[in-house]
Amino acid sequence: MEYRRIDPRLPTVGRWLDLNRRFPGDSTLRKLEYERLTAIDLKGKVLDLGGGSKAKYIHLHPKDIQYASVNIDPDIEPTWQIQPGEKFQIEDDVFDSCISMNTLEHVYDPKFLLSEIFRVLKPGGEVHISVPWIFRIHAHPDDFTRASPSWWKLAMQETGFQETTVLPLVWGRYSTASTITSFRGVLKNTRNHITHVRDVLYASLVFRGTDVYYQGKRGQRVCNVALGHFISAKK
């Protein structure tokens, strides 16, 4: 299997303003997830594992895709409601793409769901998965897993995928730390913006002359404290 870790973009003030304009009220992790999601060229039949017609991000999908979903939660109004550990009620080789946003960390056996995703994808189909890394426990109804890029590399290889990339979803060390501690009290929004600008200033000084990405050993250390990971793989 071909595996590659993608260097994430450096933070900038312009990018932060754009993220807040496009995804107001969302956490930094979700802003970075949605930024990546909207950059993917989804076409044809798309299965959303953990989604449904009331998913918070459904408006971000292209209007011309054939959308279907699988979920254990009927309130999200999925196409197919399943129980934990149950196989999808879908035939083999049906979908062009599959997405899964903040779902697999809530699954006790994520490798089982990876095998189901692989089964229902057409040959050459792609899966796009977003999961948290350094992020609080958020049960819905349970929260089981925080998997490293090394885990995803082996899990996707064992499932049978031919190509896999992992993008660390990271703005910077200060914003990751603030996610752990959270902002409360007076001027919390202002302090949140200041924290993200601190990451911009740090990156502009430390990574000057390294193009627009977190690269090298210093970049890897920042990626090690990513809020999440965005995994893409081809069948």
Q: Report which residue type is found at 123.
A: P
The CA distances from residue 174 to 6, 25, 156, 221, in Å, are 21, 19, 31, 13
Q: What is the pLDDT of residue 231?
A: 98
DSSP symbol at 76: G
pLDDT digits (tens, 9 = 90+) for 185-195: 888 889 999 99
70-80: burial string, b at 16+ Cβ within 10 Å, e else = bbbeeebebbe
pLDDT tier, 7 (very low <50, low <70, confident <90, very high otherwise)? very high
Q: What is the pLDDT of residue 78?
A: 98
| CA 206 – CA 197 distance, rounded (Å) | 14
147 pLDDT above the threshold of 90: yes
| CA 69 – CA 77 distance, rounded (Å) | 9
Domains of the chain, CATH where assigned: 2-234 (3.40.50.150)
The CA distances from residue 60 to 42, 103, 191, in Å, are 11, 17, 28
47 pLDDT above the threshold of 80: yes
Q: What is the pLDDT of residue 211?
A: 75
Sign of the CA dihedral 19, 23, 27, 33? negative
| CA 8 – CA 146 distance, rounded (Å) | 19
| CA 61 – CA 65 distance, rounded (Å) | 8
List the alpha helices (DSSP H) in the chain.
13-22, 28-37, 110-120, 149-159, 173-181, 188-206, 216-223
pTM of the model: 0.96
Q: Which are the contacts of 224, defined by CB distance < 8 A and separation ≥ 6?
A: none
Token output for 114: 């990876």
- Residue 166 sits at the vertex; the CA angle it makes with 230 and 63, to the nearest 5 degrees, is 40
183 pLDDT above the threshold of 90: no
| 212-219 long-range contacts, CB within 8 A, separation 24+ | 212/9, 212/10, 213/7, 213/8, 213/9, 213/10, 214/7, 214/8, 214/9, 214/10, 214/168, 214/170, 215/7, 219/7
Q: Report which residue type is found at 203.
A: A
